[in-house]
Chains A and B, each alone.
With several copies, the nearest count.
Chain A
Amino acid sequence: MEKLFLRGSEALALGAIDAGLKFYAGYPITPQNDIPEFLSRELPKVGGKFIQAESEVASINMLLGASACGIRVMTSSSSPGISLMQEGISYLAGSELPAVIVNVTRWGPGLGGIGASQGDYYQATKGGGHGDYFTPVFSPFSVQEMYDLIIKAFDVADRYRTPVIFLSDVMVSLMKEPVERKFASGVNLPEKLWAFGEQKGEKQKIIKSLYLKGHDLEHHNWKLYKRFQEIKEKEILVDKYMCDDADTIIVAFGMVARIARTTVDIARESGIKLGLFRPVTLVPYPEDDLEKLAEKCNKYLVAEMNTGQMLYDVKRILGKSVNIGFYGKPSSYAPTPEELLNKVKELYL
Chain B
Amino acid sequence: MKMIYKKPDVLKDVAFHFCPGCNHGNAHKLVAETISELGIQDNCIAVIGVGCGVFLYDYIDVDSLEAPHGRGLAVATGVKRARPERIVFTYQGDGDLAAIGMAETVHAANRGENLTVIFINNTIYGMTGGQMAPTTLLGQIATTAPYGREFQRDGYPIRMAEMLATLEGVAYSTRVAFTTPKQIIDAKKAIKKAFEMQINNMGFSFVEVLSACPTNWNMQPLEALKRVAEEMIPFFPLGTFKERSISDVL
Contacts and interface: CB of A to CB of B under 8 A. Distances in A.
Interface of A: 22-23, 25, 27-30, 33, 36-37, 40-41, 49-59, 61-71, 73, 80, 87-88, 91, 95, 110-111, 196, 198-200, 204-210
Contacts of B45: 196
Given A41-B146, A199-B42, A204-B64, A63 B95 contact: no
Given A40-B145, A54-B99, A196 B43 contact: no
Contact of A205 (B64, B76, B100, B127): B64
Contacts of A207: 64-66
B158 to A, nearest CB: 10
B129 A65 contact: no
B134 A54 contact: yes
> What 3 A-B pairs are tightest by C-beta distance, nearest first?
A65-B78, A208-B66, A61-B74
A87 B80 CA distance: 22
18 contacts: A25-B78, A33-B131, A37-B131, A51-B153, A54-B107, A54-B134, A55-B70, A56-B100, A57-B104, A58-B77, A61-B71, A65-B78, A66-B79, A70-B82, A80-B68, A196-B65, A200-B43, A207-B64
B81 A49 contact: yes
Nearest to B101: A55
Interface in B58-93: 61-71, 74-83, 85-86
Nearest to B76: A65
Contacts of A41: 146
B167 interface: no
Contacts of B125: 28
Contacts of B146: 37, 40-41
B233 interface: no
B82 A69 contact: yes
B161 interface: no
A52 B144 contact: yes
A61 B104 CA distance: 10
A22 B66 CA distance: 22
Given A36-B144, A55-B100, A66-B79, A200 B128 contact: no
Contacts of B118: none
A33 B128 contact: yes
B50 interface: yes
Given A29-B128, A198-B86, A88 B68 contact: yes
Nearest to A59: B74
Interface of B: 41-45, 47, 50, 54, 57, 61-71, 74-83, 85-86, 95, 99-100, 102-104, 107, 125, 127-129, 131-132, 134, 143-146, 153-154
Contact of B75 (A28, A65, A70, A71): A65
Contacts of B145: 40, 52
Given A23-B82, A52-B131, A204-B57, A209 B66 contact: yes
A210 B129 contact: no
A22 B132 CA distance: 21
A62 B68 contact: no
Contacts of B79: 65-66, 68-69, 196
Main secondary structure of the interface of B (DSSP, over half): mixed
Nearest to A87: B68
A329 to B, nearest CB: 25
B65 A210 contact: no
A54 B102 contact: yes
Contacts of B127: 30
A28 B68 contact: no
A142 B103 CA distance: 38
Contacts of A71: 82
Contacts of B74: 53, 57-59, 61-62, 65
Contacts of A87: 68
Highest count of chain A CB atoms <10 Å: which of B54, B74, B75, B107: B74
Highest count of chain A CB atoms <10 Å: which of B50, B54, B64: B64
Contacts of B69: 80
A33 B144 CA distance: 9
A37 to B, nearest CB: 5
A62 B65 CA distance: 12
B79 to A, nearest CB: 4
Contacts of A51: 77, 81, 153
Given A65-B47, A69-B79, A200 B42 contact: yes
A61 B156 CA distance: 21
Contacts of A95: 66
B81 A111 contact: no
A78 to B, nearest CB: 10
Contact of A64 (B41, B50, B75): B75
Contacts of A73: 78
A68 B100 CA distance: 23
